[in-house]
Chains A and B, each alone.
Chain A
Amino acid sequence: MWIQRIARHLAVFVLTTLIAGLLGASLVRFGPGFETDEQQLDPRLNAQSVQALRESHGSERHLLAFYLHYLGRMAAGDLGVSRSLARPVAQLLSERAAVTLQLMGAGIAGGWLLGLALALPAVLFRAPRYELAATALSSLFLCAPTAILALVLFFVNGPVRLAIALLIFPKVFRYARNLLADAYTQPHVLAARARGLSSQRIFFRHVAPWAVPQLLALAGVSLGIAFGAAIPIEVLCDLPGLGQLAWKAALARDLPVLVSLTILIAAFTQLANSASDVAIAACTRGRA
């Protein structure tokens, strides 16, 4: 039963990732100007050189053939060579992944810590002024473009990673506050209160187990939100990460880089969602 479920999940994961790669490749391949290359405009090149340049991209002309060939090479660890940066894609990704992972990791962790740190007192102590102040703060950051926050931090020599934390925290704060407030109105929590249980016991034994699975669902989504924000942050703050690479590759219509990035991002986002699904299942199974 379990093996069947895991196999089904895995099949869906692989299929979705592959289709995402094909989608990315199709978009790039059929976009106008795909077959033009700035190098071809160089007046120093003779006709043979221009022809050689055209033929060098010949393998990318037939989409399905390119994609199947690409998948075959990917299985062997070869992701091709970037058209615009003239470097192996695998090398580019491995060099830049660390920057983005650090940016996103610190941002997600900071956002969750800040969001939960503000939401818990709002629900536990129910001080209207505190709640108003926390809501106003979260609303302010919810309404400001993350790239601007990153620019401000960049110019004051502050940690740019904080910009992603400031994007994630309002969402975590609002979701966690509403969820926890809802949890305190559940019949089993009211019954526990009526029985005179201590507030700590009520929180850890009755409220948290009810809220954690739903918070985990948001945790899975955080990865996609963080990567979306990492693109303008890395471009504006000149951080050599995957977001900046995606921007450069998109502007240069660099098919091998874009397909690799699409597959990588789709796989990571789905892995994060699957991990949160597994964690939710583990939490709810324990409760059942």
Chain B
Amino acid sequence: MKRTRNIAAGILVLIFAASLLAGFVAPAPYAAQFRDFVSAPASRRFWLGTDELGRDRWSRLLYGTRISLLLAPAAALLSTFMAVVIGGIAGYAGGWWDRIIGRVIDLFLSLPWLFLFLIVRALLPLNASPLTSVTLTFTIMGLVGWAPAARIIRTGAQSLRNSDLVLHARACGCHGLRLVLVHLAPGLKPVVFAQFWIAIPTFILGEASLGLIGLGVAEPLPSWGNLLRELANPQAVASNPWTLAPLAALVIVVSCFQLLLPQKEFAS
């Protein structure tokens, strides 16, 4: 198992490095059009062929991977931060705070997050510039995806609050911020880390689903979501199976993240 995890980590590092170096590795800019080579098959010049606008698929895949792999963890960080603040306050403060925040978490959990995202995303300008659309997509993901993690962190904080360790610290006169930072935070660290790690593949898959229905990252900026839209055309896939490359990259990366999940937390 450790070997498999090492291999998964190696693959992730490799893909991450390749995407970060897209500016050097990619043979063409992601938006560059080769109008004489529209929908060209895979060749020495275009490794994965070109799309129907004549853009090099390999270059777009590298840049798209960079966007998905940089911004999904950023969204996961935002959602985990919100979950720590909201769930932590509920679990640590208890009483009415816990009841009210518990209801808010239930409210958010009662709406599937993709539905919630759909409403929020559609309210914002659909014809936003590519950079704005990227920021909006991943920020909204982070803002609406905190509830499941908050519930787990709240439970963790509750059990820590009632633990012997914290009771002893309180008895010794440790209160307030010092109690939170010195005694509660280290105990919550594994749960928080697991929730952050779980959120990354969720957001990668979420962006892919949104891109497929046209609410993800706007063209011409590539992302796995809008690269996968090519798969909606079965003739194009049949004539050029290399269009499946973004799907393969997505499955490999998400699999690696799943393999690297802390097993105990994943099981729960």
Interfacial residues, chain A to chain B (CB-CB below 8 A) = 12, 15-17, 19-20, 23-24, 27-28, 30-34, 139-140, 142-148, 151, 155, 174-175, 178, 224-225, 227-229, 231-232, 235-236, 246-247, 250-251, 253, 258, 261-262, 265-266, 269-270, 273
Contacts and interface: CB of A to CB of B under 8 A. Distances in A.
A228 B106 contact: no
Interface string B196-219: 000001000100111011000000
B208 to A, nearest CB: 4
Q: Which 9 A-B pairs have the closest CB atoms?
A: A31-B123, A228-B112, A250-B122, A143-B254, A228-B114, A178-B267, A155-B234, A266-B110, A145-B208
A interface secondary structure, majority: helix
A23 B109 CA distance: 13
Contacts of A174: 266-267
21 contacts: A12-B106, A31-B123, A139-B255, A139-B258, A143-B250, A145-B209, A147-B212, A148-B212, A178-B267, A224-B111, A225-B112, A227-B115, A229-B114, A231-B118, A232-B212, A232-B213, A235-B213, A246-B115, A247-B213, A250-B119, A273-B110
Interface of B: 103, 106-107, 109-115, 118-126, 201, 205, 208-210, 212-213, 228, 231-232, 234, 247, 250-251, 254-255, 258-259, 266-267
A253 to B, nearest CB: 7
Contact of B125 (A33, A175, A235): A33
Given A16-B110, A246-B115, A27 B212 contact: no
Contact of A231 (B213, B234, B247): B213
Contact of A148 (B115, B126, B228, B267): B228
Nearest to B213: A235
Given A24-B119, A178-B267, A228-B113, A148 B247 contact: yes
B125 A146 contact: no
Interface centre among A12, A20, A228, A236 (most CB of B within 10 A): A228
Contacts of B201: 143
B118 A247 contact: yes
B115 A27 contact: no
B160 to A, nearest CB: 23
Contacts of B123: 27-28, 30-34, 250, 253
Contacts of A142: 254, 258
Nearest to B121: A250
Contacts of B254: 142-143
B266 to A, nearest CB: 8
B208 A262 contact: no
A265 B251 contact: no
B137 to A, nearest CB: 14
Interface centre among B201, B212, B254, B255 (most CB of A within 10 A): B212
Nearest to A221: B109
Given A232-B213, A250-B118, A145 B250 contact: yes
Given A19-B107, A143-B254, A27 B120 contact: yes
Given A140-B251, A143-B255, A250-B118, A269 B110 contact: yes
Given A144-B251, A270-B110, A228 B124 contact: no
Contacts of A33: 123, 125
A151 B126 CA distance: 24
A183 to B, nearest CB: 13
B251 A23 contact: no
Contact of A228 (B115, B120, B126): B115
B239 to A, nearest CB: 14
A148 B259 CA distance: 22
Given A15-B103, A32-B125, A148-B228, 4 more contacts: A19-B107, A139-B255, A232-B213, A262-B115
A33 B126 CA distance: 11
Contacts of B210: 232
Contacts of B106: 12, 16, 270
B213 A269 contact: no
B115 A265 contact: yes
